Structure formats: structure tokens, C-alpha cells
Amino acid sequence: MLCLGIESTAHTFGCSVIEYNKDSSYSELKDSFILSETRDIYQASAGWGIHPRDASKHHSQVAAYILNKCLQEARVDIKNIDLISYSAGPGLGPCLRVGAVVSRSLASFYNKPLVPVNHAVGHLELGIKLTNSDNPLTLLVSGGHTMLLVFHRNRWRIFGETLDITLGQLFDQVGRKMGFASPCGNKIEELSNLSKTNYLHPLPYIIKGNDVSFSGLLSSVKSLIDDKSNSIYDICFSLQETAFAIIVEAVERALAFTGNKEFLIVGGVSANKRLSEMLNLACISHGSDFNSCPLRYCGDNGAQIAWTGSQIYSSDKSSCIMPENATINQSWRLDSVHIPWR
Ligand code: KG4
Ligand code: ZN
């Protein structure tokens, strides 16, 4: 089965064609089922975050180009696509609507089955597939989520989460305060690596049970930036070390409690090498396998939507919707999604 996945929840407009074979074993060649994966990322102005209307304008402008490029790279004619899936939420309304409209138009014009996909479930499912994991304790860290999850009885259950802003928002807001354009997580990582002294500013460290909090850390880091005598390299170093120590402590608590011998990290922030290094050490001390989503697929992409859509459809053919019902849900919680295929 050939599936086209369309992603447009926030800054990324992406398309992917995958070849889904239900009988293929999980140990099969890692990402050979992804025939193509194409995306374009909206860049905010320096010092600014995502403006939903501008981002949706970006998505509308690049949609046709990205879709055609994706089909060409996969060497697939749209007429031969068996299924179309799109990210229906959670995310920014104007951005989500572009993906829904593109998918709805294609599905009705070419008469193809259409399946809505929860974006966060997409991160989890593709991460599991690409790392050959079975049932890992999973950390989803992105602009939209900071959650520790375990799969149980057909649902992803939230073991712990942020009480305020996400790790991605923390990085993006610090970056914007420094004058960079969102998303800025990779910029913060780059600057942190340039710290010569590795000076650690004392910063708020908040963890409550299995939940974490980053808003106090954000305020303190903003004050450090205002004091021009501080090196931005040391500020970024201190931010990363403190925020990641909080997350790692939450992960260690969950590993100790669940006794899970498999750990997986997914989402845009999982691209950060220092975070992986710290989590890997925690996993070693708990005798758990550390798995990280391959770098190329950490951030938002169409493959996570195509892969998840294929699983939904192949487990239940009645899951497809009529094009006119291709709606979006900006606040679609991932723990509300019933998952019959796992
Ligand atoms: O998964 P994603 O592409 O979109 C959402 O679902 O939100 O994640 C985007 C987030 C942004 O906040 C971005 O700053 C962050 O991932 N990010 C990073 C790195 N690369 C991207 N954060 C820390 N270190 C990185 N290298
Ligand atoms: Zn995402």
C-alpha cells in the first residue's frame, strides 16, 4: 500500500510517500519504506516566534511545490497512491487548515481514502518503527509537547509532563530574547558548545513528582541575558545543563518506577546531542536500552503522518473519513487517541 502523508501543524509543511506492508517484519531495513520525504520550514523574522497567519501563508505557497517534489522523488503518480493521511491536530489552526484543505482536495479529486492523524502519535509511532523498539518508556520533547509516556491498553498514557511551557518553547523563547528567529533550539545548542568556561549559572530547578516546570527557568535566563556582562555561550550552556538535568531526573524516576528496559526519545528537541548524551548515561545506570529517533526524522515531517495513517487504515478500514469531514482539532490530546494496532 502506498500512502501519502501531509504534515502542517506548525512551522513545517511536509509531504512523504511511504510503502506500507503489514506483513513486513520490524527488523526490516530501517527507513527503506520511506520512499520520499520533503519539507519546507517557515522562518519567523529575527526575534519573533511563529505567526500563525504568516506560517499558514507560507504553507499555502509551498504546498504544490513540496507535494510534486515528494511524488517525483518517490517516482509515484498521485493516481497510484492508495491512501492519504494528514495531521489533524494538535497545532496552530491556520496551519492545520492548509494541510486539511490540500488533503481533502486530493482525496475528493482522485477518489482516495482519507485518514486524519494525531501529530504527536505520529512522532511516537515513527520513532518506534525507526528504532525497532517494542514498548519503550518514551519522552516526547518538541515545541508542542514535553511528555513522558508509556503505552498501555490501547492508549499512550502520560506518566509525567510539563506543568507550564514545553522544552521547545523554553529554547525558542530564550533564542528570541537573544534576537534569533524561531525555532532556535539548534542555535542554543551551537552557542552552548562554544562556551569555553562551562560556567554554570545557578538557575531554578523545578520537578514535582513526575512533572517538570520551566517557566521560572525561562524568567531567570531572560534576566541573565539582560545583564550584558554575561557571556551568551555560558547562558546557553547553563540553560541546557539545567533544563536537561530536570528532564533526566524525571526520566530516571520513571525508569526506576516502571522498570522499563527500553527508552525512546522523539520530537524536535531530541535532535540535541547533549540531551541524548545525558539520557544515555541515565539509561546505562538503569540497565535500559537508549533509543533516539534518527536525526532526519526528529522534527516534524510527513513520514510520521504517512506511517501512522497506514497503521490506522490497515487496522480498521472504516477509520477513513469523507473529504467534507476532514476537519482539524487544535487541542487534540494524544492520550485521547484509541490505538487498536499496537
Ligand atoms: O517536533 P518539532 O519539529 O515541532 C513540534 O511538534 O513542535 O519540534 C520543534 C522544536 C522547536 O522548539 C525547536 O527549537 C526544537 O524543536 N529543536 C531543538 C533542536 N532542534 C530543534 N531544541 C534543542 N536542540 C536542538 N538541536
Ligand atoms: Zn512535532
Q: Is the CB of 272 under 6 A from ligand 1?
A: yes
pLDDT of 238 reads 98
Q: Is the CB of 171 under 6 A from ligand 1?
A: yes
Q: Is the CB of 10 under 6 A from ligand 1?
A: yes
> What does the pLDDT average to over 6-12?
98
Judgement on whether residues 106 and 167 belong to the same structural domain of the protein: no
pLDDT tens by residue, 194-236: 999 999 999 999 999 999 999 999 999 999 999 999 999 999 9
Cα 80 to Cα 74, 232, 299: the distances in Å are: 11, 52, 28
Ligand 2 ion local residues (Cβ < 5 A): 142, 300
> What does the pLDDT average to over 81-107?
98
Tell me if 159 sits within 8 A of 148, measured CB to CB.
yes
Does residue 342 sit within a domain?
A: no
Tell me if 279 sits within 8 A of 141, measured CB to CB.
no
Does residue 129 sit within a domain?
A: no
pLDDT of 32 reads 78
Q: Is the CB of 183 under 6 A from ligand 1?
A: yes
pLDDT tens by residue, 273-292: 999 999 999 999 999 999 99
What's the CA gap between 56 and 46, in Å, rounded?
18
Ligand 1 closest atom vs CA 9: 6
Judgement on whether residues 269 and 165 belong to the same structural domain of the protein: yes
* Strands across the sheet containing 83-89: 34-41, 12-19, 2-7, 83-89, 114-118
| Residue 272 assigned as binding residue | yes
Judgement on whether residues 261 and 194 belong to the same structural domain of the protein: yes
Cα of 298 from ligand 1 centre, angstroms: 8
Judgement on whether residues 149 and 268 belong to the same structural domain of the protein: yes
Judgement on whether residues 249 and 289 belong to the same structural domain of the protein: yes
Judgement on whether residues 223 and 312 belong to the same structural domain of the protein: no
pLDDT of 28 reads 53
Judgement on whether residues 6 and 31 belong to the same structural domain of the protein: yes
Residue 251 clears pLDDT 60, i.e. is over it:
yes
Number of domains in the chain: 2
Judgement on whether residues 186 and 83 belong to the same structural domain of the protein: no
Does residue 89 sit within a domain?
A: yes
Residue 337 clears pLDDT 90, i.e. is over it:
yes
pLDDT tens by residue, 104-143: 999 999 999 999 999 999 999 999 999 999 999 999 999 9
Higher pLDDT, 47 or 327: 327
Judgement on whether residues 117 and 182 belong to the same structural domain of the protein: no
Q: Is the CB of 234 under 6 A from ligand 1?
A: no
Cα of 168 from ligand 1 centre, angstroms: 5
Provide the pLDDT confidence category of residue 21 given band limits of 50, 70 and 90. Answer: confident
What's the CA gap between 271 and 249, in Å, rounded?
19
Q: Which domain holds residue 305?
A: 2-124+300-336
Does residue 247 sit within a domain?
A: yes
Cell numbers that stand for 239 in this block: 540553560
Dihedral sign of CA atoms 285, 286, 287, 288 in order? negative
What's the CA gap between 226 and 222, in Å, rounded?
6
**From 37, 43, 59, 142, mutation site for ligand 1 pocket: most ligand atoms within 8 A of C-beta:** 142
Does residue 31 sit within a domain?
A: yes
Q: Provide the β-strand partners of residue 299.
A: none
Does residue 274 sit within a domain?
A: yes
| Residue 141 assigned as binding residue | yes
Half-sphere exposure of 272 (CA within 13 A, CB side): 31
Cα 86 to Cα 8, 65, 101, 309: the distances in Å are: 8, 17, 10, 8
Q: Please report, to the nearest 10 degrees, the dihedral formed by the alpha carbons of residues 46, 48, 53, 54 taken in order.
A: 0
Cα 179 to Cα 162, 250, 271: the distances in Å are: 25, 31, 22
pLDDT tens by residue, 298-309: 999 999 999 999
What's the CA gap between 14 and 304, in Å, rounded?
10
Judgement on whether residues 37 and 173 belong to the same structural domain of the protein: no
Cα of 176 from ligand 1 centre, angstroms: 14
CA gyration radius for the chain? 20
Cα of 10 from ligand 2 centre, angstroms: 8
Q: Is the CB of 189 under 6 A from ligand 1?
A: yes
pLDDT tens by residue, 168-181: 999 999 999 999 99
Phi, then psi, of 226 in degrees rounded to 5:
-65, -30
Q: Whole-number mean pLDDT of the chain?
A: 95
